[in-house]
Amino acid sequence: MYRSHNCGELRIADVNKEVTLAGWVQKSRDKGFMIWVDLRDRYGITQLIFDESRTEESVMQLAKSLGREFVIQVKGIVIERESKNANIPTGELEVLVKELTVLNESQLPPFTIEDETDGGEDIRMKYRYLDIRRNPVKNSLLFRHKVTQEVRNYLSNLDFCEVETPYLIKSTPEGARDFVVPSRMNPGQFYALPQSPQTFKQLLMVGGMDKYFQIVKCFRDEDLRADRQPEFTQIDCEMSFIEQEDILNVFEGLTRHLLKNIHNIEIEKFPRMTFDEAMKTYGNDKPDIRFGMKFGELNAVAQHKEFPVFNSAELVVGIAVPGAATYTRKEIDALIDWVKRPQVGALGMVYVKCEANNQYKSSVDKFYDQADLAKWAEATGANEGDLILVLSGSANKTRSQLSALRMELGNRMGLRKPNEFAPLWVVDFPLLEWDEDSERFHAMHHPFTSPKPEDMHLLDTDPGKVRANAYDLVLNGNEIGGGSIRIHDKDMQALMFKHLGFTTEQAQEQFGFLMNAFQFGAPPHGGLAFGLDRLTAILGGQETIRDFIAFPKNNSGRDVMIDAPATIDNTQLDELSIMLNVKG
């Protein structure tokens, strides 16, 4: 037995016990006649003491040779510490070592294995197995485990059945780019890694499984950022004989269950907002409702004066920043520079300071009098002491720009508090969206999403106005889950493929297996998928998912620890019947 207790287990009640511990050397303090060693494992730290008056000389000499991250085993007696440490659970005791065994030596680590480390992100990713020993990463992985177990418990108690679906599937043209896998046994043909188990979970509903879930890896070959990885994990769910309200209730219940069991936070009912309302009020379809600054449209009160910038704009819209009328011109200019960055793309910004006694000071005083500006304040909900910030231009682009500014101000002003949780359902998404490059409609979610029955008549005449039976669950300004009621009728699915530009032959070639299945009694069904990485990060008070993934990729999609992706030798290429023609 390597250990009788772990390094976070012993307490003052264990004094005088003989114990065996094993772990890594966190640090060592050698005072000559006495040596203290902090021994660490996953569970915590226990202080060891080597005392020349009570420890054999050979053990003392071996203790002097210990370096950081040596793996050791000790046997000794639990004693009460003279100098107690209230910051750790084992801080009232230490182990007087009688026997010491070095199980493995360690080179000097390339960065300190401490909560606050001197290692940059690149070096920590290269030595990720060392980074995992640090409490912030270790605790994030343990937190993810807890979230995952709570999800499994909740869904299993509702009679959901966990079913695995294949990783080697068929490539489809919708959505992001696929990762493809060559087939040695079928030269010139390729599998694709699944972007989601979408069609398989629908087939499980045809198969009568009724309630399915899977915590599953998914893959998308797309540009990366803080909350995106090429491989990610979904909590994938599907249900039969349900309507939209059934799904919203089940998965609102799951989110409430997680908030209650992890943070002891109770939220009775999640608010709901249509897609159109979210775009008009917040400029995006995943608004953070932990703070205000709702959009106020100003076309009616800002156009048709003498200010040509507003008169030529499709949309003039503003927000009221609470308490920001005290901003200096330098601070306001910095905000203007921020929105003019290429990442945001605004050409400029107008401001109004709401001062005492209903007085307004604006960058466009030349064109608007006090009565005009009072109407701006009314439209944006601005009060005395607030700062109104106004953008204009094409509607979609301007809303996106003002949304980015609102979120930036929320961060700067400390309004996006990680220990506050504000869930929101966004419903009634458009079924289709127009793509300028391909000059055709694409499914906003995926081709299997059912349209609202009351909008069906618009499919032939005005398809852009058709709403989908689709919904997203938003938490703190992040989409954590989304889904839809599916099409379960073969003729309706064929009609959808037609509106998406598929010929009958193309639809049959790529999705024939699903349409064929619909001929054998497909039940009404729908579902939802949560992004487990993102959900866990937000519940953990962060928005970056990387520390909640054991072995993440960097922003170039590389695993710098194992140096992947990498070239393969010609023998493997020949077996796969592949000839490389690398461009650039």
Q: What would the pLDDT profile of 376-389 be if each residue is shown by its tens digit? A: 999 999 999 999 99
pLDDT, mean of residues 452-462: 87
pLDDT of residue 173: 63
Give the CA distances from residue 192 to residues 113, 168, 219, 507, in Å, rounded to whole numbers and listed in that order. Answer: 39, 6, 9, 18
Predicted confidence (pLDDT) at residue 167 exceeds the cutoff of 90: yes
Beta bridge partners of 315: 393
Return the exposure string of 221-246: e unless at least 16 CB atoms fall within 10 Å of the residue's CB, then b.
eeeeeebbbbbbbbbbbbbbebebee
Q: Which two tokens stand for residue 184?
A: 């040695």
Could you tell me which residues come within 8 angstroms of residue 383 by beta carbon, excluding any fewer than 6 positions away?
320, 322, 354, 377
> In angstroms, rounded to a whole number, what is the distance separating the alpha carbons of residues 131 and 548?
12
Q: Range with the lowest mean pLDDT among 147-151, 162-166, 427-431, 437-441?
A: 437-441
Q: Which two tokens stand for residue 1?
A: 């037995």
Percent of the chain surpassing pLDDT 70: 99
- Asked if domains 138-169+195-272+423-571 and 291-413 share a fold, the reply is no
pLDDT band at 313 (very low <50, low <70, confident <90, very high): very high
Q: Which of 219, 208, 184 is nearest to 578 (CA)?
A: 184
pLDDT band at 226 (very low <50, low <70, confident <90, very high): low
CB 76 within 8 A of CB 95: yes
Could you report the per-residue pLDDT of 534-580, keeping only the tens digit for each? 999 999 999 889 989 999 999 889 999 999 999 999 999 999 999 99
CB 233 within 8 A of CB 215: yes
Decide which of 3.40.640.10, 3.90.1150.10, 3.30.930.10, 3.40.50.2300 is the CATH code for 138-169+195-272+423-571.
3.30.930.10
Binding-site sequence positions for L-aspartate: 174, 220, 445, 486
Identify the DSSP state of 430: B
Binding-site sequence positions: 174, 220-222, 229, 445, 479, 486, 531-534
Give the CA distances from residue 359 to residues 349, 355, 385, in Å, rounded to whole numbers and listed in that order. Answer: 20, 5, 10
Fold for the domain defined by 12-104: OB fold (Dihydrolipoamide Acetyltransferase, E2P) (2.40.50)
Binding-site sequence positions for ATP: 220-222, 229, 479, 531-534
Q: Spell out the domain ranges in the chain.
A: 12-104, 138-169+195-272+423-571, 291-413
Calculate the average pLDDT of the chain: 94
Could you tell me which residues come within 8 angstroms of residue 484 by beta carbon, excluding any fewer than 6 positions away?
445, 446, 448, 449, 450, 468, 469, 470, 471, 526, 527
> In angstroms, rounded to a whole number, what is the distance separating the alpha carbons of residues 504 and 425?
36
Q: Which of 29, 165, 151, 50 is nearest to 98 (CA)?
A: 50
Fold for the domain defined by 291-413: Gyrase A; domain 2 (3.30.1360)
